[in-house]
């Protein structure tokens, strides 16, 4: 789910209303707090993930309007539905019309929301919003929390309600398995010339040749979907390819923002490295962003055909890569690394199994009762420190979200628990529940 709309219509206000106030996210990297670009949100019994669009407006050097357009189109490709917000007090302005135009080709996914309608305000704007031709607008006031039940009704067409919290569900994690009809959103990223296009052509078959798209290929034609062992895969890395046909300098400028956009919209990101030159600083930066954004990461070492002559140095290079990854991303252990030659196809059959394995882990849900029994055990095995003369209590833990696994821990004195203890919990969590290779998030809260 994404909220789109021009500045000042109330997107952040609505975002905060649906996401609720959250404390800083604590990773197991000491002292790391950051704002997430994607947050678990809830309205009544509907739980969903909201993309925080505010950040999109300000990153990158592009003109604001171009960025808004790009985000809007990407949001509509990746989200189940898009909340298109207008300011009903201001009425529909030309920029709103632009948004409407970008959204029109997927009108079925668009929910028009007329904000700032508290009291009886905004009637004129509401009428104008009707005229956009994107369905009945829903009057709300994000600031005052009005109109949320109508919004709930509209969202319910796109989101399954949550099942009742149910102890019976324990032990049936398999029920939580990924919906096989929902495509895995795959991104293939990496420095120029590492072989991304060659790899993609291998994966989807030769009939869809994408290396160096000619000018004139429409954006819709670049959408790439395929099936792997009965499971749907959709590539989200399209802008980078589209841009390849443009001038080199421009490509460079755009590629950072582009890569980031692509990462944010993907489920699994394959970072392609060149075997001749692995773990370049830029590779590590890209991989780091994948983890920061909470995506599932697979490291792919391409062009292994170039290593074949010298096995000893190949294995040295390999070890160095594994070590560097291990050292660079303390918060993710055992990132899958797959080597192949996209050119001759050797080893390529190992890539998609690795992608789906890590995807399934990334989708895992640990049942609450199990988690709390585990928490009691951890507390006994390794009691939390004393703070102000009292033992810190680990009260309750629950997984609030999957994709990536995100946990909330209620602690009596969160600010006193300390990074060492958190790291201990994270490591045990990863080992005991089988969550290798994916970022795990842990938020601490004081009990209400
Ligand atoms: P964004 O730029 O789209 O993220 O907009 P913001 O969420 O920052 O809101 C812009 C302004 O509109 C702020 O001053 C908000 O307080 C105000 N605002 C947001 N929602 C409402 C609402 O429901 N009613 C009114 N009257 N003002 C609102
Ligand atoms: P991209 O910029 O990452 O999309 O890279 P391309 O797919 O366009 O590949 C860049 C160059 O690397 C091309 O000349 C490819 O033929 C070459 N290449 C791609 N994969 C391999 C590989 O597995 N082995 C070798 N030796 N060359 C490769």
Atom number, ligand 1, closest to the C-alpha of residue 85:
3
Q: Ligand 1, atom 10: nearest CA belongs to which residue?
A: 8
pLDDT at 171: 39
pLDDT per position as a tens digit, 22-81: 433 333 333 333 333 567 777 877 778 887 555 454 445 557 777 778 778 877 887 889
Atom number, ligand 2, closest to the C-alpha of residue 341:
23
Ligand 2 pocket test, pick from 189, 190, 191, 193 with the greatest ligand atom count within 8 Å of Cβ, gives: 193
pLDDT at 374: 95
Through-space distance between the first and last CA atoms of the chain, rounded to whole angstroms: 28
Residue 340 Cα to ligand 2 midpoint, Å, equals 12
Which ligand approaches the C-alpha of residue 213 most closely? 2
Residue 6 Cα to ligand 1 midpoint, Å, equals 11
Residue 76 Cα to ligand 1 midpoint, Å, equals 23
Quick check: ipTM above 0.90? no
Residue 98 Cα to ligand 1 midpoint, Å, equals 20
> Residues 71, 53: contact at Cβ < 8 Å?
yes
Atom number, ligand 1, closest to the C-alpha of residue 144:
23
DSSP conformation class of 276? G
Q: Ligand 1, atom 12: nearest CA belongs to which residue?
A: 10
Per-residue pLDDT of the chain (448 residues; tens, 9 = 90+): 889 898 889 888 888 888 765 433 333 333 333 333 567 777 877 778 887 555 454 445 557 777 778 778 877 887 889 999 999 999 999 999 999 999 998 899 999 999 999 877 888 898 899 889 898 899 999 988 888 888 988 998 888 766 544 433 343 444 445 666 678 999 998 888 888 888 888 887 644 444 443 333 333 334 577 888 888 888 876 444 444 444 444 444 445 666 777 788 889 999 999 988 877 788 888 898 898 888 999 999 999 888 756 678 778 877 888 888 878 876 677 889 999 999 999 999 999 999 999 999 999 999 988 999 999 999 999 999 898 888 898 988 888 888 889 898 888 888 888 888 998 999 999 999 999 889 998 888 877 5
| CA-based nearest residue to 99, from 140, 53, 59, 161 | 53
Which ligand approaches the C-alpha of residue 58 most closely? 1
The neighbour count for residue 22, using CB atoms within 10 Å, is 15
Cα 81 off chain centre by: 15
What is d(CA 39, CA 20) in angstroms, rounded to the nearest whole number? 10
- The residue ranges of DSSP E strands in 218-362, in sequence order, are 224-228, 231-235, 268-274, 296-302, 337-339
> Residues 97, 112: contact at Cβ < 8 Å?
no
Find the residues whose C-beta lies inside 6 A of ligand 1: 5, 7-13, 54, 115-116, 118, 141-144
Residue 430 belongs to what H/E stretch?
helix 419-432
Atom number, ligand 2, closest to the C-alpha of residue 191:
3
pLDDT at 246: 43
Residue 223 Cα to ligand 2 midpoint, Å, equals 21
> Residues 397, 375: contact at Cβ < 8 Å?
yes
Q: Enumerate the H helices of 104-147 as residue ranges.
A: 123-130
DSSP conformation class of 157? T
Ligand 2 pocket test, pick from 342, 345, 347, 348 with the greatest ligand atom count within 8 Å of Cβ, gives: 342
Domains of the chain in start order, with CATH, are 2-157 (3.40.50.300), 184-363 (3.40.50.300), 368-445 (3.30.300.20)
């Amino acid at each position: 789910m994404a909220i789109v709309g021009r500045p000042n219509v109330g997107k952040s206000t609505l975002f905060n209303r649906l996401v609720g106030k959250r404390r800083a996210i604590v990773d197991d990297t000491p002292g790391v707090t950051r704002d997430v670009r994607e947050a678990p949100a809830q309205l009544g019994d509907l739980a969903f993930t909201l993309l925080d669009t505010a950040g999109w407006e300000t990153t990158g050097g592009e003109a604001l309007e171009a960025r808004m357009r790009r985000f809007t189109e990407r949001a509509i490709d990746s989200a189940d539905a898009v909340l298109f917000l207008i300011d009903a007090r201001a009425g529909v302005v030309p920029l709103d019309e632009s948004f409407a135009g970008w959204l029109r080709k997927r009108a079925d996914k668009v929910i028009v929301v007329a904000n700032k309608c508290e009291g009886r305000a905004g009637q004129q704007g509401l009428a104008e919003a009707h005229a956009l031709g994107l369905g009945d607008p829903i009057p709300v006031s994000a600031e005052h929390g009005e109109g949320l039940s109508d919004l709930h009704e509209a969202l319910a067409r796109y989101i399954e309600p949550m099942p009742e919290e149910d102890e019976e569900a324990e032990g049936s994690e398999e029920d939580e398995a990924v919906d096989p009809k929902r495509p895995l959103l795959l991104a293939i990223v990496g420095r120029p010339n590492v072989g991304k296009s060659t790899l993609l052509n291998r994966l989807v078959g030769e009939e869809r040749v994408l290396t160096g798209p000619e000018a004139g290929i429409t954006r819709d034609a670049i959408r790439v979907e395929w099936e792997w062992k009965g499971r749907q895969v959709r590539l989200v890395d399209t802008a980078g390819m589209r841009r390849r046909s443009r001038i080199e300098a421009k490509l460079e400028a755009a590629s950072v923002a582009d890569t980031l956009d692509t990462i944010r919209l993907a489920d699994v990101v394959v970072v392609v490295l060149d075997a001749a030159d692995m773990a370049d600083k830029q590779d590590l930066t890209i991989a780091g962003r994948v983890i920061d954004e909470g995506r599932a990461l697979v490291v792919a070492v391409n062009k292994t055909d170039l290593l074949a002559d010298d096995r000893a140095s190949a294995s040295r290079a390999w070890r160095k890569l594994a070590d560097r990854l291990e050292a660079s991303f303390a918060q993710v252990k055992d990132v899958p690394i797959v080597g192949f030659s996209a050119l001759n196809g050797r080893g390529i059959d190992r890539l998609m199994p690795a992608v789906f394995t890590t995807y399934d882990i990334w989708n895992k849900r640990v049942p609450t009762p199990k988690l709390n029994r585990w928490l009691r055990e951890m507390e006994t095995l390794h009691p939390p420190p004393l703070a102000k003369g009292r033992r810190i209590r680990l009260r309750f833990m629950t997984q609030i979200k999957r994709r990536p696994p995100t946990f909330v821990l209620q602690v009596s004195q969160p600010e006193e628990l300390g990074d060492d203890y958190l790291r201990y919990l994270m490591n045990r969590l990863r080992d005991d529940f089988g969550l290798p290779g994916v970022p795990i998030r842990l938020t601490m809260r004081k009990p209400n």
